[in-house]
Amino acid sequence: MRGLEHLRRHGLTVWRFAERGFDAAAGSALNPLRHLGAIGFLAFWALAASGIVLYIVLDTSVDGAYRSIAALDEVPFSGGVLLRGLHRYAADTLVVAMGLHLLREWLHGHEHGFRRYSWLTGVPLVGFVFAAAIGGFWINWDQLGQFSAIATAEWLDALPLLATPLARNFLGAGTVSDRLFSLFIFVHLGVPLLLLFGLWFHVRRITHAAVLPPRPVALGVLAALAAMALAAPVRSHAPAALAAVPELLRLDWIVLFAHPLTYATSPAFVWVLAGGAMIALFVLPFLPAPARTPARAPVAIVDPASCNGCRRCLADCPYAAITMVPHPRGRRHHALAVVDADLCASCGICAGACPPAKPVRDAPRPVRDAPRPVTGIDMPQLPIADLHARVHAALSGARAAHPIVVFGCDHGARAGGLGGAGVHAFSLLCIGQLPPWFVERALRDGAAGVLVAACRAGGCEFRFGERWMRDRLERRRQPRLRRGVASRRLEIAFAGRDDTALLERALERLRRRVQRVTHGAEPGPGASHA
């Protein structure tokens, strides 16, 4: 276990280094390493679209399949070449994106806790993808398809469950019939349907699932696939001849790597390798969590007396942990939010979406000056009211002429590390926990400026924290920051865990702008995007 965690820790360091490189080149919002799952979906849709066209022109018989596919090379303007290449390279893209997505989630320790369901439903998809991709080579029924079919049959023959060898009984000279070829078609078309069904299960417990990457990323991937299809066209080998052994094959090493591995070692070795890998993937969520992973945090709690059934928490929850039920007190047209503890990520995004109810007026005198907000849903480990009281107390005792409040995130750049006189930093469970009215209250309580530090675009630990926060403060999502708030005193910085320097520069910009505002200048609002 210690060696595994050592590997994970160093792997995560390398992964973050690669992410920063892509961030610098394309911006974090368009970083393909932050959209691997969506890129996999895009590859699947490209496979489905090109596969439908290929099936239309396919002659589903042993004698006609090769001729019908080879005829695509004669389509004018390289249309058939583009179609075949798009289908082949989209399969490779799906395999690569799936592998990188799996690796990324493991490096971040996302196989545990509330994400366990997504991990366990994603593992079988690995087998479905390879089964569908390998079966696609058989349909062409050229020498490469013949090699793949025989290699697969010999691999299956290593199982003790089969009484007679598949390779000898079904793939011998003169034994390949149209009925067997119909089985090939079923494998290549039926397994993707199972894959699609499995993908639905995989994303069922997350909201706003990304089934397509951002448009520039999607267009870039499709353009790259088209360029590869034209630069390295996919051509058929010679027709399959079971009486002869192919001498030279152009292998797709991404999809068909298991075949040469089987012949280099043994079918039993590959079965142990593949079976051991699948078992390990299924077992990982039940092993002890990484040392850096915090213990299971308390989940969100709903206050029925304050919940008005506005459904904002339902709309903003990233993991479908909130449902609405009729209000138990029989309030007409009112619903009550209910939290599923097994799905709750303890991120606090729901608390940031909840509008405050009426303040408590009978609070003690020190608190009455800043009425204690009451929300319909809150996090017991960091209640909104307690956080508000801490901000109010810090500003009440501030001695600096122009105090600045910094709201950060436990998973982003460390706001608590910011120094300087008059800086009061507060870290939230997720920046999405920050209600927009906190900015207004902080300015009203005496803050000269407010710096909101979120994770990089697309890098939120809880998927939507930085996005919902930005949309709320930019008045595109409820609850919105009021238009009367002096936005020139607000700075938004998108900084990852290792981006403290970026956060310090954002703080310095806000300081300079606050000083100019104090002396009568009126600059516009600032935002720092990484």
Identify whether the C-beta of residue 490 lies closer than 8 Å to the C-beta of residue 483: no
Q: Are strands 526-528 and 377-378 parallel, antiparallel or unpaired?
A: unpaired
Q: Which neighbouring-strand residues pair with 494?
A: 454
Identify whether the C-beta of residue 97 lies closer than 8 Å to the C-beta of residue 1: no
Stated as kind and residue range, the H or E segment containing 524 is none
CA-wise closest residue to 145 among 169, 104, 180: 180
Distance, C-alpha 358 to centroid of its chain: 38
- Give the integer Cα–Cα distance in Å for 185 and 92: 20
Q: Is 399 helix (H, G, I), strand (E, B) or coil?
A: coil
Q: Which neighbouring-strand residues pair with 425?
A: 406
Cis omega (within 30 of 0) for bond into 359: no
- CA angle 286/97/31 to nearest 5° reads 105
Tally DSSP H helices, then E strands, for the chain: 18, 11
- Give the integer Cα–Cα distance in Å for 518 and 516: 5
| CB-based burial, 211-248: b 16+ in 10 Å, e otherwise | eebbeebbebbbeebeebbeeeebebbebbeeeeeeee
Q: Is 395 helix (H, G, I), strand (E, B) or coil?
A: helix
Q: Which neighbouring-strand residues pair with 407?
A: 426, 452
CA distances from 394 to 13, 209, 360, 399, 491 (A): 36, 40, 21, 10, 20
- Give the integer Cα–Cα distance in Å for 152 and 22: 38
Residue 275 CB contacts under 8 Å (≥ 6 apart), including other chains: none
Q: Are strands 322-326 and 490-494 parallel, antiparallel or unpaired?
A: unpaired
| Model pLDDT, residue 522 | 46
How much is the pTM? Answer: 0.89
Identify whether the C-beta of residue 132 lies closer than 8 Å to the C-beta of residue 90: no
**Six-digit token pair at 511?**
């300081």
Phi, psi of 291 (to 5 degrees): -60, -30
R_g (Cα) of the chain, nearest Å = 29
- Give the integer Cα–Cα distance in Å for 423 and 447: 10
Q: Is 491 helix (H, G, I), strand (E, B) or coil?
A: strand
Look at the block and give the residue holding tokens 């981006």.
499
Look at the block and give the residue holding tokens 């002890």.
288
| Model pLDDT, residue 396 | 87
pLDDT per residue of the chain (530 residues) written in tens, 0 to 9: 677 888 999 999 999 999 999 999 999 999 999 999 999 999 999 999 999 999 999 988 888 899 999 899 888 778 899 999 999 999 999 999 999 999 999 999 999 888 999 999 999 999 999 999 999 999 988 999 999 998 998 898 888 776 556 555 556 556 677 777 888 888 899 999 999 999 999 999 999 999 999 999 999 999 999 999 999 999 999 998 877 788 789 999 999 999 999 999 999 999 999 999 999 999 999 988 766 555 678 999 999 988 989 999 999 999 999 999 988 876 666 799 999 999 999 999 999 999 875 444 444 444 345 567 888 999 999 999 999 999 999 998 776 778 999 999 999 888 877 767 789 999 999 999 999 999 999 998 889 999 999 999 989 999 999 999 999 999 999 999 988 887 789 999 999 888 888 999 999 999 999 888 776 654 444 444 44
**Plot region of 109 (φ>0 → left; ψ -120 to 50 → alpha; else → beta):** left
| Model pLDDT, residue 365 | 41
| Model pLDDT, residue 373 | 82
CA-wise closest residue to 62 among 192, 167, 170, 189: 170
- Give the integer Cα–Cα distance in Å for 344 and 3: 31
Q: Are strands 449-454 and 404-409 parallel, antiparallel or unpaired?
A: parallel
**Plot region of 475 (φ>0 → left; ψ -120 to 50 → alpha; else → beta):** left
